[in-house]
Amino acid sequence: MTIMYTIQENYSTLTKSEKKIADYILSSGEKIVHSTMSDIREAASVGDGTIIRFCQKIGFSGFSDLKIAIAKEDFSKQQENSQESDLFDKRMKTINNALKTTNQRLNSEKLKEAVQLITAANQIYIFGVGSSGNTGNDLEAMLLRVGVQSRSVIDPHFQSQIASLLTEKDLVIGFSLSGRTKDTHDSLNIAKKNHAKIIAVTNYQLSPIAQLADVVLQTAIEEFLDGASLAGKISQLYLCDLLVQGYEIENNVNSIELRETVLRSILDKSLD
């Protein structure tokens, strides 16, 4: 029995306010997993208590429990489809779509602004946790190869300490696909209060993290149950590559000479 069917089956037992919630969820489908309690409150004009009671009436402890159940249901359908079709072609299509959609969302003016912020920054820090933290490490390495020194910080406590010492001359690049990662948001909020510039790399322009940013670069992968997917990682890395390439062009970087210098520094670390 699907979650949507369960809601429809219990629809007649719901109060007027609860039916507003049901209508919103039924119209949203699987996309509801990316909504928050605030989204429901605003869309249905109801309170938190009503949302919780609605969830309990259809068999869930709360809104998060309901979202997980919907995500599991949708993920199971995707897995079944994968078994019925060619797995390699399906995965390749997912990756290609991630790049294509990221490119479609790309705003060249925003990218140029982001490059200018990198160029002007006194210090550059990169904040992210989990998989997004790993992407931050990748960006640090990519920037180093074009002569830009930055520091990727994945520990939220260190992020907060660093953010508290930043000034208007400094830059923080924050990674979060959902745009709602609390640790990253808290650290960026401290940086914002100290007037540091912020670039957010995230899926949603209206997310809390995006709202803190001077420039938002949009990724294109909606992840919930399938967190840290390759497609989400590639969407982030594609934007990282564009930032680095944009910096090279903007600053007339002799990339060949720089890359040769970096290469020579590590050649003796290779075994013959």
At 87 the pLDDT is 64
Q: How many CB atoms within 10 Å of residue 106? A: 15
Measure the CA angle with vertex 186, ends 161 and 49; round to 5°: 150
Q: Does 80 share its domain with 96?
A: no
Q: Does 224 share its domain with 106?
A: yes
Q: Does 248 share its domain with 192?
A: yes
Q: Does 76 share its domain with 95?
A: no
Q: Give pLDDT tens digits for 189-238.
A: 999 999 999 999 998 888 999 999 999 999 987 655 455 578 889 999 99
**In-domain check, residue 169:** yes
Q: Does 57 share its domain with 8?
A: yes
Domain boundary pick from 37, 52, 84: 84
Residue 58, classed as helix, strand or coil, is coil
Say how far apart CA 185 and CA 175 lie, in whole Å. 10
Q: Give pLDDT tens digits for 35-70.
A: 778 888 888 898 989 999 988 988 888 888 888 887
Let me know: does 124 contact 171? Beta carbons within 8 Å. Answer: yes
**In-domain check, residue 58:** yes
Q: How many CB atoms within 10 Å of residue 5? A: 9
At 225 the pLDDT is 46
Instruction: Evaluate if residue 1 carries a pLDDT over 50.
Output: no
The DSSP code sequence of 109-157 is: HHHHHHHHHHHH-SSEEEE--HHHHHHHHHHHHHHHTTT---EEE--HH
Domain boundary pick from 84, 118, 151: 84
Q: Does 199 share its domain with 123?
A: yes
Domain count, the chain: 2
Q: Does 110 share its domain with 217?
A: yes
Q: Does 212 share its domain with 176?
A: yes
Would you place residue 240 in the very low, low, confident or very high pLDDT band (cuts 50, 70, 90)?
very high
Q: Does 157 share its domain with 60?
A: no
- Model pTM? 0.72
Say how far apart CA 113 and CA 111 lie, in whole Å. 5
Would you place residue 272 in the very low, low, confident or very high pLDDT band (cuts 50, 70, 90)?
low
Q: Give pLDDT tens digits for 68-108.
A: 887 777 655 555 555 545 667 777 877 888 888 899 989 99
Q: Does 105 share its domain with 230?
A: yes
Q: Give pLDDT tens digits for 121-131.
A: 999 999 999 99
Q: Does 179 share its domain with 226?
A: yes
Q: Give pLDDT tens digits for 247-265.
A: 999 998 876 777 777 777 7
Structure tokens at 272: 């013959």
What integer best gives the mean pLDDT of the chain? 86
Q: Give pLDDT tens digits for 151-196.
A: 999 999 999 999 999 999 999 999 999 898 999 999 999 999 999 9
**In-domain check, residue 150:** yes
Instruction: Evaluate if residue 9 carries a pLDDT over 90.
Output: no
Among candidate residues 163, 179, 161, the one with its CA nearest the CA of residue 171: 163
The CATH number assigned to the domain holding 195 equals 3.40.50.10490
Domain boundary pick from 58, 84, 110: 84
**In-domain check, residue 272:** no
The CATH number assigned to the domain holding 75 equals 1.10.10.10
**In-domain check, residue 66:** yes
Q: Does 57 share its domain with 162?
A: no
Residue span of the structural domain in which 63 resides: 3-84
